[in-house]
Structure 1
Amino acid sequence: MEHGGAHNYIAEYAPLFGFALVFVLIFRRLGLGATLGYLVAGALVGPQLLDLVGDAENKMVIAEFGIALLLFLVGLELSPARLWRMKNDIFGFGLLQVVLCGIAISAVIAFGAGFSGAAALALGLPLALSSTAQVLPMLQSAGRLRTPFGERAFSILLFQDLSIVPLITIIAVMSRNPADAGGPPGWLLGLYTMLAITGLVLAGRYVLRPLFRLIGNWGERELFVFAGLFTVVASAALMQALGLSPALGAFVAGVMLADSPYRHELEADIEPFRSILLGLFFLSVGMLLDLSAIAERPLFVIAMALALIATKAVVIFGLGLAFRMGWRQALGLGLLLSQGGEFAFVLFAQAQNAMLIAPEGVSVFSAVVTLSMATTPFLMMLTRRFRAEQAEPQGEREGPVSDGSNALIIGYGRFGQTVGQMLSAQGIGVTLVDTDIEMIDVAGQFGAKVYYGDGTRIDLLRQAGAGEAELILFCLDQDQVSAELVEAVHEAFPKASIFVRAFDRRALLKLKDSPATGVVRELLESAIKMARLAMEVVGVDPSEIDKTEDFYRKRDRERLRLQYEAGDMLAAREAITQRPELRFSARREQPEPLPSEEVSDDDRP
């Protein structure tokens, strides 16, 4: 029996994932985004068309965990520094956009479609939210995510993601479901919310951070993944037990770890689970679409989609002008955020459970959201010429921060500290990544923010901002950076110049065919410096010291060239520098010791 059940379970998911793979590839190729591919695939395999997969409701229950993971990752983005830097756009522009668009769309639904006030609000407020899952990849692929335009769009999306919690509360207050009426009063829910958030914040500081520190010291990546998922599940379960939104718990869990050194590692570890479960969520939405209800009112669906797009585009365009954006940028922002979003599906389900919307209405307006999402790539392509007539002003950016920094330094030991401090002295923003917990703690005492994570992983580099960085500097000790790794990093982030700290000559030779911009032997310059100081102490004439250094460097480069060509460390053994004729050609009487820290800045390396 169990075997048969397992067989059925696998037989259901095989066509589901197969259709998803095909349609996501097609829609990605057409520039329409993965979300629409999932929705169409779900509708095709669902019970109303091919009927290859059943029980969409149970799959939706599992898939809603993807929403919790999405909110957890949103919370991880909310470090205090970033919140403060974007506060006007997040809590000013974002708040006005959700409120004004929600009221305007609710009015259109109430007067244009004849819905009651409560039903219009239950539909209009969710439609004010845009699709984070669609817009952010579009910005990233266009290289605009870290521009002022991209950051403003991200700020609005961020507030929209935050607003799901109060929107769920509003729907609960308007609920007509007797089961909801028997729940605790609003003031008690508010008290529960405050207590739960306080408890989660304290747990994050005094339980989770020490836990992640312990796991980091052990170097167990599997435990790190497990601990991250446990954090999300436990926080969401606590909120659900109190009758609150599980999404709120996941979000708070992310916020309380946003400023921790483990942020990038958690993002990299949780992201695959988030992607898979969010894809399953969209597949389930597609399966649950009532296609017959849509087929009965196709003109209504098209009209409401056009009304949604026009209303949001006009409101956001007006807000953009009010916030001193150029009209082309304001138009681009309005069109980019004109679609409905994935959280509308969640809120529609909440409104249906609250008996504010009939199931047929949920299907129709879910189709409105889907159609509006399909139009966004076309709108952006059709209006590109008008929006691009005036080059986007870059302006003066606020000081560099860890997110979107110009340089990503992997390894913050003695070598990386010098590199990082010199780059920072020139105003070059750096993001620092290391796996040494003790070093991270010590660096924090000196005001340096070092994130925990394995910087040789492509996914973690991407989470840390390597896609926008101009420099990626591997300052790791020993022989940890291979030519294959450099090749993979270059392929993933072609815009960045890559520099590598080589442990010795052997490591240097291994990187000879890599696309690294520069490879530096970690001890070469300090060894040359010590040799110069030693020769000065025993009285060698400064001009002879210069000649000796020049001669050594030339012979060393020649040896490297021959070793590169031969692929053999033993090549050019006869070229090892030995010049007895240079010995002490001019000694000083009783030389004074010369500590390295007293060497003049004019001295050579």
Structure 2
Amino acid sequence: MAAEHAGGLIQVVALLGAAVVAVPLFKRLGLGSVLGYLVAGVAIGPFGAGLFNDTQAVLQIAELGVVIFLFVIGLEMKPAQLWHLRKQIFGVGALQVGVALAALTAVITAAGYPWKTALVGAAGFVLTSTAVVMSALGERNMLSGKNGQSMVSVLLFEDLMIVPLLALIPMLSPNQAESTKPLWQAVGTPLLCLAAVVFAGLYLLNPLFRLLARFKAREVMTAAALFVVLGSALLMETGGLSMAMGAFVAGVLLSESSFRHQLEADVEPFRGLLLGLFFLAVGMSLDLKVVWENWQTVLLGVLVLVDAAFICIYAVARLTKSSHQEALERAAMMALGGEFAFVLYGAAVQQGVIDSGFNAQMTAVIVLSMALNPLLVMAADKFLSVRKEERPADEIDEQHPVILVGMGRFGQIVRQVLSAAGYRLTIIDLDEELVSGFSNVLDIKTYFGDASRPELLVNAGIEKAELLIVAIDDPEKSLQIIGFARSINPDIKIVARAYDRMHTYRLYEKGVEEIVRETFDSAVRSSKAALRQLGMPAALVEEVGSLYFKLNRTGMERAAVLYDPDIPSFTNQALIDEVKRQNRYEYETVQELIGRYKMDNQADGDS
């Protein structure tokens, strides 16, 4: 008995030790944590050191890491946000899966396999690894970005696709008549389970957590959080849906709960540990014997399928109006197989659709595609960085007290006014044509470079500068530049161009002294012109414009305190209430001004 316990403890220590050694090493090399976990899994698995034999048992437990991860993602995605993404999920997602499935089926069929075998093999590869892509998006802080949201949408659709694909397997089976479920059962059971999860999320979970909160027992709340995650996952799996989808739906339904942050904090330690264990288990499942005996087939399979998937994903992204950079980034991150392939291939083997040899080879292809994906992403990043800035940043040989970032239509006017007033500026812009034109034609010294790179700002003298003017129209880069400037020179004064209301709120959070909304002044001037055309006296027009300008600036400061980047603007009730209050106050105050003006003019006329 003691020996058995010791053996189990050795396995636990091996898992932890492999992660502790491999992950920091691979992150230091710039290869990411996922590849570190996969390589560590190969090293300690049955085809490495042989510390584990039953990798499927480890994989089943480790899949809970993916489940909890999807629950956390759901907590951060409000129902309104999910509804906003519906076209991405069912439009882009369906198009990407359909195009890739057709192309990869054709590729495998061309290799000499029957069409049924090819269809199942392609379907497994098309279902991209949710765990790998989500981890990569999280590490790169892309989950809330436009391209990150597109990838999340496609992943959600792929998670939904496991249901019809598993239902398709018996129809492809030689014993089709014996194994196929009635259609009502195949469709009705998943829908019933989904309805049960939604009902519980809407009507039962919040009262449950309120009740448990009264007892002030933190461990009970943690147990309840895990109960919700695993219970919803189990219910979905019972209905034939994916466990991850069940946890995601539960997370979305709890995303507006007052317990959201506590739930996230409770499950976070389990998420990280189990997700790492999942990647270790995937690495263990790589059968090196199969790879060695069929190395040419496996290697060719990885290269051809990854390339075909890459081309399909890139083409769909461009077709749906993504930029070249976004499409390339998405293709690099999503051109790999996923964990659902193991489930799909297992069912196909049981039904006699594919044989065990094809299953072993495709499983090896899937695992290797997951292992090589970080390298593909690194290559895409390197390519994009080279394309984005083919020439190196200019050496800045003169430093002035004022630094101006951006010489577009906005920045040009700022420069003209300051130069006319006698101030000298250090000017930086990323547009080669503009930089060349101003420097060589108009004799306005302008330096080429990306000011969001800290080394360029240091070369420009940001540590000693008195004033930084950020006149670019990229909100994210603007915030990066301001954040670095503040960190290295806390006393620097900053004037920043705001792209829109949301960007304005975030600039207030950064403590920017002067925020200039790029269309605000011109819009107020246009409003004043409209009032004059409507017959309002010019003096009153100027007073109305000045009053509105003052009220709006003050209101923006109050609203900025209530802004939360994690909550879509039209679902942030506190912010909505404040904006409505400001609108009423602006109307009443302007009407009062107009009323006073009319009374004063009437009194002057009477006298």
Aligning the two structures, in what range does the TM-score lie when normalised by the shorter sequence?
A: 0.5 to 0.7
Mapping 1:220-369, distance limit 5 Å: 220-241=217-238, 245-369=242-366
Mapping 1:475-494, distance limit 5 Å: none
Partners of 1:274 and 1:426 in 2: CA distance: 33
Q: 1:313 deviation in Å?
A: 2.0
Match of 1:429 in 2: 563
Q: 1:97 deviation in Å?
A: 1.0
CA separation of 1:356/1:428 partners in 2, compared to 1, >3 Å: closer, same or farther?
farther
CA separation of 1:285/1:332 partners in 2, compared to 1, >3 Å: closer, same or farther?
closer
| Mapped contact 2:230–2:247 kept (Cα < 8 A) | yes
Q: Does 2:160 align with 1:159?
A: no
Q: Does 2:63 align with 1:27?
A: no
Match of 1:209 in 2: 206
Match of 2:537 in 1: none
Partners of 2:48 and 2:106 in 1: CA distance: 35
Q: Does 2:123 align with 1:125?
A: yes
User: 4+ runs of 1 displaced by more than 6 Å?
Assistant: 390-393, 395-399, 404-408
Q: 1:239 deviation in Å?
A: 4.1
State, as a whole percentage, how many aligned pairs show the same letter.
37
**Amino acid in the other structure paired with 1:258:** S
Match of 1:116 among 91, 114, 124: 114
| Mapped contact 2:162–2:241 kept (Cα < 8 A) | no
CA separation of 1:309/1:170 partners in 2, compared to 1, >3 Å: closer, same or farther?
same
CA separation of 1:171/1:182 partners in 2, compared to 1, >3 Å: closer, same or farther?
closer
Q: Does 2:314 align with 1:188?
A: no
Partners of 1:301 and 1:335 in 2: CA distance: 20
Match of 1:570 in 2: none
CA separation of 1:194/1:320 partners in 2, compared to 1, >3 Å: closer, same or farther?
closer
Q: Deviations over 1:207-228 (max 9, x none)?
A: 2110112233444332221111
Q: Secondary structure at the match of 1:377?
A: helix
Q: 1:236 deviation in Å?
A: 3.2
Is there any run of 5+ residues in structure 2 with no aligned partner, and where?
391-429, 431-449, 451-472, 476-497, 511-553, 577-607
| Mapped contact 1:328–1:387 kept (Cα < 8 A) | no
Q: 1:324 deviation in Å?
A: 2.0
Q: Deviations over 1:100-145 (max 9, x none)?
A: 1122112211222x22222222221221233343334444544544
Q: 1:198 deviation in Å?
A: 1.9
| Mapped contact 2:63–2:275 kept (Cα < 8 A) | yes
Match of 2:379 in 1: 379
CA separation of 1:446/1:344 partners in 2, compared to 1, >3 Å: closer, same or farther?
closer
**Amino acid in the other structure paired with 1:111:** A
Match of 2:484 in 1: none
Q: 1:245 deviation in Å?
A: 4.8
Match of 1:18 in 2: 17
| Mapped contact 1:32–1:377 kept (Cα < 8 A) | no
Q: Deviations over 1:333-368 (max 9, x none)?
A: 222322223433443334344443333333322332
Mapping 1:482-561, distance limit 5 Å: none
Q: Secondary structure at the match of 2:204?
A: helix
Partners of 1:445 and 1:127 in 2: CA distance: 37
Q: Secondary structure at the match of 1:51?
A: coil
Match of 2:50 in 1: 51
Partners of 1:105 and 1:228 in 2: CA distance: 40
State the aligned residue count: 424
Match of 2:388 in 1: 388
CA separation of 1:144/1:282 partners in 2, compared to 1, >3 Å: closer, same or farther?
closer
Q: Deviations over 1:504-560 (max 9, x none)?
A: xxxxxxxxxxxxxxxxxxxxxxxxxxxxxxxxxxxxxxxxxxxxxxxxxxxxxxxxx
Q: Secondary structure at the match of 1:13?
A: helix
Match of 1:579 in 2: none
| Mapped contact 1:196–1:239 kept (Cα < 8 A) | yes
| Mapped contact 1:103–1:125 kept (Cα < 8 A) | no
**Amino acid in the other structure paired with 2:357:** E
Match of 1:447 among 573, 586, 594: 573
Mapping 1:83-98, distance limit 5 Å: 83-98=82-97
Partners of 1:399 and 1:87 in 2: CA distance: 25
| Mapped contact 2:171–2:180 kept (Cα < 8 A) | no
Q: Does 2:119 align with 1:148?
A: no
Partners of 1:283 and 1:227 in 2: CA distance: 27
CA RMSD of aligned residues (A): 3.8
TM-score by length of 1: 0.61
| Mapped contact 1:406–1:429 kept (Cα < 8 A) | no
Q: 1:68 deviation in Å?
A: 3.0
Q: By percentage of residues, which structure has more helix?
A: 2
Q: 1:325 deviation in Å?
A: 2.5
Partners of 1:428 and 1:371 in 2: CA distance: 47
Match of 1:99 in 2: 98
Is there any run of 5+ residues in structure 1 with no aligned partner, and where?
409-419, 434-443, 451-605
CA separation of 1:202/1:380 partners in 2, compared to 1, >3 Å: closer, same or farther?
same
Q: 1:72 deviation in Å?
A: 3.1
Mapping 1:465-484, distance limit 5 Å: none
TM-score by length of 2: 0.61
